[in-house]
Structure 1
Amino acid sequence: MLSRLRCLRNIYQANVSRGLTGSGVFLRSTPAAFNQRWLQSQATRKSSIEETRNQKNKNALMWTLATIVTFVGLSYASVPLYKMFCQVTGIGGSVQGTAKFSTATAETEILEDADPISVSFNSDVSSSLNWRFRPLQTRVYIRPGETTLAFYEAENRTDQRITGVATYNVQPPRAGIYFNKIQCFCFEEQQLRPNEKIEMPVFFFIDPEFADDPYMKNIKEIVLSYTFFRTEDVDIDVAQQNRLLAEQRAS
């Protein structure tokens, strides 16, 4: 019995000399050792929190940049998309322009037996734009399916560089779905230097199905009109509303 007590006392003294107290396998750290481990755990936790915060900041930055790029892209695409919408639907007298005709005009059939249709050209300029804008021909006579090239002329009459954009319309509005423009300067920015003058082409044809539509039977003349604005003055939404109103009046 005495020998066992001496053995346990020797073990206890050995543990104390190494900075540990207790008996058996359940040993308790000294305050100094505990503080060291606590500081290490706190440092690890702080590092993990900082890494998480940095990752969140990176993700937020990426989402912000993606949003900015998306909105910029949409702003640049708004005019072409609206142009495409008008071409496909023919809303409010806008010109119909499908890929079938714009990419393979040679496939269009000219109806030689059909009566010629008069296509006249009109031009207007916004009061805020000091340009001279006019068609270089008054009218042409074409048959359905026949491609035709016409020209407009624009002149900047100021001593400043100015950028303008043109909208277009077809009268009567219900004929717009058959008026196909292959090449056009509408909805594209045109920048003119001081006193510069340019010619702009319009390449178009009338869909052969025009002759088969009973609602087109009495239409002998089509008017193609362009209006030039300063780029910053163009409101596409207002233009669309005007086209819708014109279509409603025609129906």
Structure 2
Amino acid sequence: MANVNLTAPAPDARNKKLAIILLCVVAGMVGLAYAAVPIYQIFCQVTGYGGTTQRAEDVAVGIIDREMGVRFTASVDAALPIEVKPAAMSVDKIGSKVTVVYVATNLSDKPVGTTAGFNVAPAVAGSYFNKIECFCFTEQTLAPGEVKEMPVVYYVDPELDLDKELDTIKEITLFYAFYAS
């Protein structure tokens, strides 16, 4: 009868293999964490999920008589030394191309980088809110004491008028959250 060696690998080899596996798991988790935000943004932009607006190259066809108010708000991360003044509320006929301006001021004596994420309320209106130009998800660098105008060009799609769920909606809120970049 042949002599069969049924001994387990040495503890050093097992530990090395476990360490490699754990490093791969950690690297995979870090990779997924970095990929999650862009993938979620793409998903939301395509579906309008969670109040995410649509991107447009130009204005939709036609303006209708129904008016829609758009309120603009902003919040700034407490650790970020900037002040952001949102645009004034706008009331326009649905389908009109509208330009509004947010104004950011660097309150520090150092350059500050910021990026803004956005959302729309009510969330169901997000798929009808089309931004042609926006500063969102683009790093804005403000020199010490600089005041910067940041335009938003948008229109509300006339298809909104056909959505019975939005019959009573007279106002949409566009919210920007500014954080350090």
Could you say which TM-score interval applies, normalised by the shorter chain?
0.7 to 0.9
Instruction: Give the structure with the higher percent helix.
Output: 1
Deviations 1:89-113 (A, max 9, x none): 111111122xxxx2342x52111x3
- 1:90 matches 2:48: yes
Post-superposition shift, 1:78?
7.6
Structure showing greater relative contact order (alpha-carbon pairs closer than 8 Å, 6 or more residues apart)? 2
Give the distance between the partners of 1:78 and 1:162, measured in 2 at CA: 25
Tell me whether 1:121 sits opposite 2:88 in the alignment.
no
The structure whose residues are more often strand, as a share, is 2
**How many pairs are equivalent?**
149
Residues 1:147 and 1:208: Cα distance change in structure 2 (over 3 Å): same
Distance 2:44 2:154 in 1: 16
Structure 1 partner of 2:142: 192
* Cα distance between partner residues in 1 of 2:82 and 2:74: 11
TM-score, L = length of structure 2? 0.76
Alpha-carbon distance in structure 1 between the residues aligned to 2:36 and 2:103: 26
Matches of 1:184 and 1:151, distance apart in 2: 10
Please, what is the CA RMSD of the aligned residues?
1.9
Compute the displacement of 1:128 (Å): 1.0
| Structure 2 letter corresponding to 1:91 | Y
Q: Write the mapping of 1:1-251 to structure 2, written as runs, cut at 5 A.
A: 82-97=40-55, 102-105=56-59, 107-111=60-64, 113=65, 115-137=66-88, 139-231=89-181
For the pair shown, the structure with the greater C-alpha radius of gyration is: 1
Percent of aligned pairs sharing the same letter: 40
1:80, distance to aligned residue in structure 2 (A): 6.1
For structure 2, the 5+ residue unaligned runs are 1-30
> Aligned letter for 1:210?
L
Task: Report the TM-score when normalising by structure 1.
Answer: 0.55
